A and B are shown apart, each in its own frame.
Chain A
Amino acid sequence: MTTDTRPVLACRGISLGYGGRRLIDDLSLELQPGEVLAVTGPSGCGKSSLVRVLAGLDRPRSGSVEIPGRRRGAIAVAFQDTGIPGTITGLQAILAGRLHALPWWNAWLGMPSHEAGHACRLAEDLGVGHLLDRPVATASGGERQRLSVARALHHRGNIVLLDEPVSQLDEESSRRVMGRLRAEAATTGRAVLAVVHQQVLVDECADRELAFAGDTTWRLRRLPR
């Protein structure tokens, strides 16, 4: 685990909402290297919105998101809707996580296939090794989620954002994925922020829990390890 304790991402007083609806008020938090932060709360309370804001896809109503150092290549993200086309293979889906490491001109044919070994190991760890040579269209919803998680880990950004990575998985597979995320954070020093609904997984795998109450308030607590 890394000894660097400077935050890799910091939210300063961000507020989120849509139209006249307020979701989250005045959220401040720092994501530390090597930690797993679980985000919990009822449906529609703003968890996915927070992931989108942290990923840079949406802007907060107020406040700011700061990423020290170079932003490019820093954030890996797996969304609830995986966004993986069905016609590519599982291996291509994972390798696409490293496109940012290719030269800008190498786009059409290029895929960082020299890193296929890492991608294959991730797929095996997450239980989707059988999909490497198969079209993603043949995968179930839970398998697509795991491919999406593998893609985010293959990206190798020091911030990994995961929106409900285990929502379609059975208990055993969920534990396997969360355990892999825990190990990734511990061994590489990456910070993992994951939206998770199952409290038992939060207690087992997370260092801290950011819990939304559903009424724009939130609570951040450290979990006993």
Chain B
Amino acid sequence: MKVRQFLVLGLFACALLISSGALAAEKIIAVDGSSTVYPITEAVAEEFQKVYQDVKVTVGISGTGGGFKRFVRGETDINDASRPIKASEIEACQQNSIEFIELPVAFDGIAVVVNPKNTWVDYLTVEELKKIWEPEAQGKQIRWSDIRPGWPEKPITLFGPGVDSGTFEYFTEAIVGEARKSRGDYVASEDDNVLVQGVAQDEYALGYFGLAYYLGNQDILKAVPIDSGQGPMAPTPENVKNGTYKPLSRPLFIYVNRKSADRDEVEKFITFYLEHAKDLVEEVGYVPLPEKAYELALERFRKRVTGSVFGGHGATVGVSIEELLKKEAQ
């Protein structure tokens, strides 16, 4: 008796849920991709839905590559990306006859940080960073004194993001010279807060991660200015914006499916995105592009200019705002 009642109840609940599902035909904009870009898109989606209450925006965090895997199948309308689209991804788009519009939305810096008790480091050159992080350094214990004479004869404890991270990909490209080439014997975590805590607790530590994580923890970390040949530059939002914090600042993008762009709600969302990005980007801890860049991006979207200006190279180092603008204008 009891068993039958239970089964009937279950079937009834199933039927109810499924029938209610059939009613759901809503205007949904599906966004997925980079967890770095996520806070920006989340902020835009939040404000957008206050104005357009009949549209629903969903944002996922599958990572830039994971998001593109969906995007090339036409499963999402927009992909958040912390690097330009790769050749293999462009090819996959072509196979599925999907065209995309590439839009830069913000700049992000990568901060190199040490413990606040570290009084000796005044700046590091790109060469010095390379010596610390290149794959050849694997297994060798590098002491601070090996980097510059006079610094303590203590081994450097290294902290950095895991290999699935876009930050890892960009840092290795910018510092070692080839993406994904790095020593492997450092404390790696996909969770940047673990890296923050690690550096904050070890006097001889050195680590790198997204600028926002430094800005949120300035009381327990010290940022190292980077010298790429034109004098040491601190990772401040200003230096990222004016392009002097080289080579560790990178552009962030959204990629819009060309077909989705013609849907009224998606068109409104992208327009809203580019019009409000400046304020919202800053609010969530990233560096906005100059106003001119947003105007150009909007124009690019209105004209439905498809394809990537980066030619499928993936992580591209040393893209300044001017270059980006020039590429946009072409």
Q: Do they bind each other?
A: no
Task: List residues of A whose CB falls within 8 A of some B CB.
Answer: none
Task: List residues of B whose CB falls within 8 A of some A CB.
Answer: none
